[in-house]
Structure 1
Amino acid sequence: MATAYERFNLHASPEKFYIEACDDGSNDVLVIDRVSTEMTLTGIKDIPPSGVTRPICGIMGTIRLVAGMYLIVITRKRKVGNLFGHTVWKAVEFDMISYKKTILHLTDSQMQDNKTFLSMINSVLNTDGFYFCTDYDLTHTQQRLANTSPDFQEMSLLERADQRFVWNGYLLRDFFAQPELQKFAFPVVHGFIAMKPCCINGKIFEWILISRRSCFRAGVRYYVRGIDSEGHAANFVETEQIVQYNNSRAAFVQTRGSMPFFWSQRPNLKYKPKPQISGTTNHLDGFQRHFDSQVLIYGKQVILNLVNQKGSELPLEQAFAKLVNTMENGMIKYIAFDFHKECSKMRWHRLQILVDAVAEMQDEFGYFMLNSDGRVMSEQSGTFRSNCMDCLDRTNVIQSLLARRSLQSQLQRMGVLHVGQKIEEQADFEKIYKNAWADNANACAKQYAGTGALKTDFTRTGKRTQWGLVMDGWNSMIRYYKNNFSDGFRQDSIDLFLGNYTVDESVEGLTPLRVQKDWKFLTLPIVMLVAFSMCIICLLLAGDTWTETLAYVLFWGTASAVTAAVILFNGKEFVDAPKLVQKEKMD
């Protein structure tokens, strides 16, 4: 496999960027012309001595904003661990460097737009969870890598990567176009990676958890639901659990993703907006595309739908079940499990009902395993595709239970666990296992919903606690605020970063960023605040008679209540909606 360079120096002159590969034996320098934006390869002798030099950890890519092109580089990384001898890094800090030496050529409004676009890109870069490896392919599962051709193995990391999980794919479009430059770039995945050395019965093994978020139909909780016309599901995540012992390794893969038909749940200031199923779209086409690709990649599918089977979630469950029945595909099995009903009143032990119900199918699917000689001993023939409404909290709990059951079998087969021993009885390992799965839940939740996950006390401790309920309430409040008042900006940021929206620097007129809100957006909240304040003042500063005080309180109280009702009725006009997002995402 053609590996990428790992260490770089960035030399910046007024006319060009020189990115020097500092790996042993390398003499390559990538030159980027700051005027023409052309990229070429040269040698170390061509670096001018007058340039400003700084070390960087890698190139994230380039993007065009109002002020022109920007180079995005990784400036700090942290080692996560070693995956079969290959170092896995987490990108921690980034920098955006303008090709232009000044932005004085911009008008005031263009400067403001450029500043907003810069803050959008930084918003995505500051979302925790970017990982990379310069000499190993993090985008593919162990099983996919074991079934590749010699030609595939000779490709560069960029060429061979699974494009679903390359979050800097759009930023690296110029590198894709010039194969000779691909040693200077590597795919960056977004999600979560934990790599833990563990010990059971005196036997040391490596336990690894990798969650890869898809960059297709990526976005935030309420603005991206369901699927697109290509069959890509919102919040699709591939999670692979790997264990390595004595040069043998085993892996178990699960997926999660939004219910794969056309539905939406736009924020409107209500705590739980009512989901809407599209009545004008042919759901079966997109649904079929989604599962055709899933079966092709992962084999048989067992769908675990964990949504409520009553209230506003019921129509979604019924639609999902109906579409599966309509397809009549023997490779797909549908199981509905009302998570909240079954586990109500802290009856979390009832999750075992679902685990037991799918045990036979899980044994049939098996897992991928290589022996110490590199020979394939078994392969995974199908996956569990879990979902709840957000594919976060309930989904992660179930995935951790199924992954533990698979791990039990793997460790026994490898000889780490003795016959009759249970993982649950290994206290030290259980703590590592539960905390890593809870951290995985938090990472995926922050990336999609804006806060840490709910129900992580169960994942960490195996039981539900009162403190866990309090923390869930706190996270729910923060989610409510972010989903209503900051997620439009986050959605725009993701769309800009992934190339779903591109900036035309030649546009001088009104951009989507400068579309003004309706008069109600500012006026009604001010009226409500004034009315509520007057109501409180009247209560504190009583009039000459109680009837006079009551009249004032009733007047201002009614004014604030009526204004609040009007705001709620027009809730969609008061939330922070995306300005750049394309129509298909908004539907």
Structure 2
Amino acid sequence: ILMKLFKHLHTTPEKFFIEACDEGADAVLAIDRVSNEMTLTGKKDVPPSAVTRPICGIMGTIRLVAGMYLIVITRKRNVGSLLGHAVWKAVDFDVISYKKTVLHLSEIQSQENKTFLAMINNVLTTDGFYFCTDYDLTHTLQRLANTSPDFQEMSLLERADQRFVWNGNLLRELAAQPEVTHKFALPVIHGFIAMKPCRINGKIFEWILISRRSCFRAGVRYYVRGIDSEGHAANFVETEQIVLYEGTKASFVQTRGSMPFYWSQRPNLKYKPKPIISKTTNHMDGFQRHFDSQLLIYGKQTILNLVNQKGSEKPLEQAFAKMVTGMNNGMLNYIAFDFHKECSHMRWDRLQVLVDAVAETQDEYVYFMVNSEGKTVAQQKGVFRSNCMDCLDRTNVIQSLLARRSLQTQLQRMGVLNVGQRIEEQAEFEKIYKNAWADNANACAVQYAGTGALKTDFTRTGKRTRWGLMMDGWNSMIRYYKNNFSDGFRQDSIDLFLGNFAVDESDGPTPLRVQKDWKFLTLPIIMLVAFSMCIVCLLMAGDTWTETLAYVMFWGAASAITATIILFNGQDFVDAPKLVHKEKMD
């Protein structure tokens, strides 16, 4: 349901005037479109001549070639209510220039500005931005329960977990002024939220799934792997499952993230590029930083590594296992489970082997629970940190199984499930549960890999289907195309949006002016011409079959040799990022 918008943006040639999000509040943020200065004023100072339009909030501001731009949320959709607080999904955005014209730009600058604008819109149109005006979506229930009164007094942006504030870079100008921050700076998370009212045994409860995608080392599938020097893992997502029933609230948290050492897997036109472990960096430094941070935030860690234990993935599994052993930390537990080998020939029942293997550990970690009197009766003492190569398809399947096992215990303790009853037998709830986890997989996969997730037929139905295999094949083809021919632009878009690349205020050239090597255009044209000539020779046979064969062999050889050269130099033909230097990203 599209809800009524309650903010307004008033625009004059000199200023933007933005009303505060609290209804009835008099505070108005005035932004000077020439000096970029931000000041607080009242509604009485908004000129009657101003053009007024409804908005839902400010995403932030960003500097591009043409100058500053204001990004606003223009449409939102109500997702549900979390502990009495409305949760919204940002549906539409607008990027508004401070400058009234771009006539001050040269033709090249104007073109570059359009490209940067396209990048910003590329991120904004990637589904999955959520916000709440009076509740902190960046923290789990357990973290919020263990905070001080001072923390509660802070603005949403000040107290937010910066790992999950996707518009943190865009809000820097507003954050510089505390009085402005409190009323206008709204933290926005990226990921997935499902909020479902459910019924079992006539008892109604709220079941919620929240996936928070980290903005540190964020990027697309092949261009961002492993970790950075600060220990941030690529594609890190914190997923929290929440149950609310008659004043009792419970939550179970899991994490996923790339294997936390220095490795890369750059696209090169091959279907599955070979992963490369860096030989020049000290892996243990970043590895130690990653897990020191994880242990501090989440407690004990059980690592579930789901990669293949043969072929190109084997060295990664061995390196991960070796580094966990090298850390010699009793708080870390490592389990390698070759997902594809164990579940080969559609033997998906084999996943129960892993669930049973970690059952004792899961019972030790338990979950977070507060009873109806407000007393904390359980704290989650550790998390399962799952990963496959992308932390998407295999990872999501395992996370949904572990989350269901935790939910079984929680619902029994709350009195929703009777003794001896199993969630799997509750057909109505199972359908809601499976579909939400499959939707979660699709949302995270689209944000990271550009297509929906694979293996979601198992998550939705509990079994692998031939239609599911066909859909996986289709999604794999789309992923191949995007990974090789459009992900450079997507990576640049994310780096610009998150502030990993900043547009220089000077009039100098930007990295967008880097020209492609001559091979990029010449060789594919030669291959196309040679292949076309080969077909023409087959269709228009010569006077003798030997003459036809000679022509076909010549043009066939020309196209095959050119194709081989292209594949050998594959990295020169893919769409590579331009804005952040390659060494930084590896």
Return the TM-score normalized by structure 1: 0.98
> Match for residue 314 of structure 2?
314
* Cα-to-partner distance string for 1:334-353 (whole Å, 9 max, x where unaligned): 00000000000000000000
Give 1:583 deviation, angstroms. 4.2
> Match for residue 54 of structure 1?
53
- Contact preservation (8 Å) 2:6, 2:23: no
Separation in 1, partners of 2:21, 2:10: 12
Separation in 2, partners of 1:20, 1:454: 44
Separation in 2, partners of 1:403, 1:582: 39
- Contact preservation (8 Å) 1:242, 1:252: yes
* Cα-to-partner distance string for 1:303-353 (whole Å, 9 max, x where unaligned): 000000000000000000000000100000000000000000000000000
Code of the aligned partner of 1:280:
T
- Contact preservation (8 Å) 1:130, 1:190: yes
> Match for residue 268 of structure 1?
268
Separation in 2, partners of 1:542, 1:25: 82
Code of the aligned partner of 1:387:
N
- Contact preservation (8 Å) 2:21, 2:133: no
Residue 506 (structure 2) pairs with residue 519 (structure 1): no
Code of the aligned partner of 1:349:
D
Separation in 1, partners of 2:403, 2:346: 22
Separation in 1, partners of 2:550, 2:486: 39
- Contact preservation (8 Å) 1:217, 1:235: yes
* Cα-to-partner distance string for 1:474-522 (whole Å, 9 max, x where unaligned): 00000000000000000000000000000013233x3210110000000
Distance 1:276 1:22, change over 3 A: closer
- Contact preservation (8 Å) 1:367, 1:378: yes
* Cα-to-partner distance string for 1:266-323 (whole Å, 9 max, x where unaligned): 0000000000000010000000000000000000000000000000000000000000
Separation in 1, partners of 2:64, 2:87: 31
Give 1:374 deviation, angstroms. 1.3
Code of the aligned partner of 2:225:
R
Separation in 2, partners of 1:581, 1:419: 57
> Match for residue 167 of structure 1?
166
> Match for residue 80 of structure 2?
81
Separation in 1, partners of 2:202, 2:517: 67
Code of the aligned partner of 2:232:
H
Q: Matched residue of 2:130: which SS?
A: strand
Separation in 2, partners of 1:10, 1:24: 14
> Match for residue 401 of structure 2?
401
Separation in 2, partners of 1:476, 1:562: 27
> Match for residue 497 of structure 2?
497
Give 1:118 deviation, angstroms. 0.2
Give 1:548 deviation, angstroms. 1.1
Separation in 1, partners of 2:529, 2:193: 49
Code of the aligned partner of 1:537:
V
Gaps of 5+ in 2: none
> Match for residue 299 of structure 2?
299
Identity %, equivalent residues = 83
Q: Matched residue of 2:329: which SS?
A: coil
Code of the aligned partner of 2:172:
R
Residue 298 (structure 2) pairs with residue 284 (structure 1): no
Separation in 2, partners of 1:582, 1:157: 34
Code of the aligned partner of 2:285:
D
- Contact preservation (8 Å) 1:15, 1:35: yes
> Match for residue 446 of structure 1?
446
> Match for residue 550 of structure 1?
549
Give 1:584 deviation, angstroms. 4.4
Separation in 2, partners of 1:572, 1:585: 17
Give 1:547 deviation, angstroms. 1.1
Residue 97 (structure 2) pairs with residue 104 (structure 1): no
> Match for residue 327 of structure 1?
327
Distance 1:83 1:107, change over 3 A: same
Residue 25 (structure 2) pairs with residue 26 (structure 1): yes
Give 1:186 deviation, angstroms. 0.9
Q: Matched residue of 2:204: which SS?
A: strand
Separation in 2, partners of 1:71, 1:535: 54
- Contact preservation (8 Å) 1:8, 1:19: yes
**Equivalent runs, 1:185-584 vs 2, <5 Å:** 185-508=185-508, 510-584=509-583
> Match for residue 36 of structure 1?
35
Give 1:363 deviation, angstroms. 0.2
Separation in 1, partners of 2:243, 2:36: 45
Q: Matched residue of 1:380: which SS?
A: coil
Residue 127 (structure 2) pairs with residue 132 (structure 1): no
> Match for residue 156 of structure 1?
155
Q: Matched residue of 2:549: which SS?
A: helix
- Contact preservation (8 Å) 1:211, 1:440: yes
- Contact preservation (8 Å) 1:139, 1:162: yes
Code of the aligned partner of 1:300:
K
Q: Give aligned pairs, total.
A: 582
Code of the aligned partner of 1:86:
H
Give 1:358 deviation, angstroms. 0.1
Give 1:381 deviation, angstroms. 0.1
Separation in 1, partners of 2:419, 2:539: 73
- Contact preservation (8 Å) 1:228, 1:584: no
Moved more, 455-464 or 6-15: 6-15
- Contact preservation (8 Å) 1:121, 1:497: yes
* Cα-to-partner distance string for 1:452-484 (whole Å, 9 max, x where unaligned): 000000000000000000000000000000000
> Match for residue 92 of structure 1?
91
- Contact preservation (8 Å) 1:29, 1:44: yes
Gaps of 5+ in 1: 1-5
Q: Matched residue of 1:330: which SS?
A: coil
Separation in 1, partners of 2:373, 2:48: 51
Q: Matched residue of 2:334: which SS?
A: strand
Code of the aligned partner of 2:547:
E
* Cα-to-partner distance string for 1:545-584 (whole Å, 9 max, x where unaligned): 1111111111111111110000000000000000001444
Code of the aligned partner of 1:580:
L
* Cα-to-partner distance string for 1:345-399 (whole Å, 9 max, x where unaligned): 0000000000000000000000000101111110000000000000000000000
Distance 1:555 1:124, change over 3 A: same
Separation in 2, partners of 1:584, 1:193: 35
Separation in 2, partners of 1:516, 1:584: 19
Separation in 2, partners of 1:371, 1:377: 7
Give 1:7 deviation, angstroms. 2.8
Give 1:22 deviation, angstroms. 6.3
Code of the aligned partner of 2:423:
I
- Contact preservation (8 Å) 1:265, 1:274: yes
Separation in 2, partners of 1:352, 1:286: 33
Code of the aligned partner of 2:488:
G
- Contact preservation (8 Å) 2:225, 2:234: yes
